[in-house]
Amino acid sequence: MKQVYLDNAATTPIDPIVVNVIQQAMLSNFGNPSSTHQFGRKAKNVVENARKNIAEVFNVSASEIIFTAGGTEADNLILQNAITNLGVERIISSKIEHHAVLHTLDFLEKEYGTIIEYVNVNAKGNVDISHLRSLLEGSSKKTLLSLMYINNEIGNLLPLDEICNLCKEYNTLFHSDTVQAIGHYELDLQKHPIDFITASAHKFHGPKGVGFAYFKKGFGIKPMLYGGDQEKGARSSTENVHSILGMEKALKLAVDSLQEDREYMNTLKNHFIDQLKTLNNRITFNGESEVLDKSSCTILNVLFPVKNNMLLFSLDLQGIAASGGSACQSGSNKGSHVLSEILEEKYQDFTSIRFSFSRNTTSEEIDFTIQKLKDLL
């Protein structure tokens, strides 16, 4: 049976070149970076070289990069440090953030009494800038703003220039979950002065279980994990050397072909949109995912004009992998908190599916998916 993978926003297939880097590191660089003998020093050297190379991609210094087990840990490390270490009393976010942020905010509110406020988003999932300004000017408490650069479900791009300018105007710290953006979009942290960002290697053809947090220089970091003095005391745990090297290579490969890959994925996405409209003119698209300059090249969230809670499962039986989005979706008990927030109630029972692309996706796979959707609908 033909297999088509259109769930790259969940995870991407690891690049064979990256697999080779990881394998070689596991075989020849197995030392503990904390050890003082030559094996340890060799491992320490490649980890620090990877840190430097990753930092250069974002135009920051190596000391500002902290390796983690992925985006969720990085978000937690940043948000918890904001409250316990940086004197933040209030966090502003949105209700369509990733659960790595939303669930952490719930914890901080219950555990520390942190004031949590949510900026309004419109029916397309865009932040209400006027409301955000009113929230920023409405309190003198030290505030952190947490908004993701690319929404993982609907693909909306955050207007970074505008948000950074607002944070500067109101002396507000800015954290952005950039997990869906890194490896697909440029991010110069001197041009966009974000205080904290997060990354996860498996979103850009790297290994799972490794990522990083960026803390702008000048912010001390208290660890969440205790037991050692790794990562300059910010994260106790023996560094995952082979995965860090895999992440470094995956990021380099992504950055080297970033513009070319983005243009290619946008061409695929546009073709998919056109074919879906031909399939049924009542098909619409959630968020801004249909608009190429307002959404990620990797994500298209489709609202089908049917109440078919088995459509996603049926696609899987045809060899097509994608992700669900509606409250009645097969395989999802709670549905999408993002779509529940932005869709009118009458559309929330309709079937929404997130298709997401990578540089490996082909036009033939798109056409195959269209044909199967035609049969199933």
For 135-158, write each residue's pLDDT tens digit.
999 889 999 999 999 999 999 999
What is the average per-residue pLDDT within 196-204? 98
Structure pTM? 0.94
Would you state the pLDDT for residue 348? Answer: 86
Three-state secondary structure of the chain: CCCEECECCCCCCCCHHHHHHHHHHHHHCCCCCCCCCHHHHHHHHHHHHHHHHHHHHCCCCHHHEEEECCHHHHHHHHHHHHHHCCCCCEEEECCCCCHHHHHHHHHHHHHHCCEEEECCECCCCCECHHHHHHHHCCCCCCEEEECCCECCCCCEECCHHHHHHHHHHCCCEEEECCCCCCCCCCCCCCCCCCCEEEEEHHHHCCCCCCEEEEECCCCCCCCCCCCCCCHHHCCCCCCCHHHHHHHHHHHHHHHHCHHHHHHHHHHHHHHHHHHHHHHCCCCEECCCCCCCCCECCCEEEEECCCCCCCHHHHHHHCCEECEECCCCCCCCCCCCHHHHHHCCHHHCCCCEEEEECCCCCCHHHHHHHHHHHHHHC
- The least confident of 73-82, 115-124, 163-172, 342-351 is 342-351
167 classed as catalytic: no
Q: Which comes out higher in pLDDT, residue 9 or 233?
A: 9
Distance CA 39, CA 266 (A): 45
> Residue ranges per domain, the chain?
4-12+258-376, 16-256
Position 335 scores a pLDDT of 82
Residue-wise pLDDT for 27-84, tens only, equals 999 999 999 999 999 999 999 999 999 999 999 999 999 999 999 999 999 999 999 9
Q: What confidence score (pLDDT) does residue 61 get? A: 97
Exposure of 366 in the CB half-sphere (CA atoms within 13 A): 22
User: Of the listed 164, 167, 297, 328, which one is catalytic?
Assistant: 328
- The bridge status of strand 299-303 relative to strand 284-285 is antiparallel
pLDDT at 329: 41
Q: pLDDT tens digits, residue range 328-363?
A: 344 555 789 999 999 998 888 899 999 999 999 999
CA 298/CA 319 separation, integer angstroms: 20
pLDDT tens by residue, 247-287: 999 999 999 999 999 999 999 999 999 999 999 999 999 99
Residue with tokens 């320490």: 44
Region of residue 252 (phi > 0: left; psi between -120 and 50: alpha; otherwise: beta): alpha
What is the per-residue pLDDT for 327?
A: 36
Reply yes or no on domain 16-256 having CATH 3.40.640.10: yes
Average pLDDT, the chain: 95
pLDDT at residue number 325 = 61
| Tokens 């098909």, residue located | 283
Range 227-244 average pLDDT: 92
Average pLDDT over residues 300-323: 95
**More confident: 193 or 346:** 193
Q: What is the CATH number of domain 4-12+258-376?
A: 3.90.1150.10
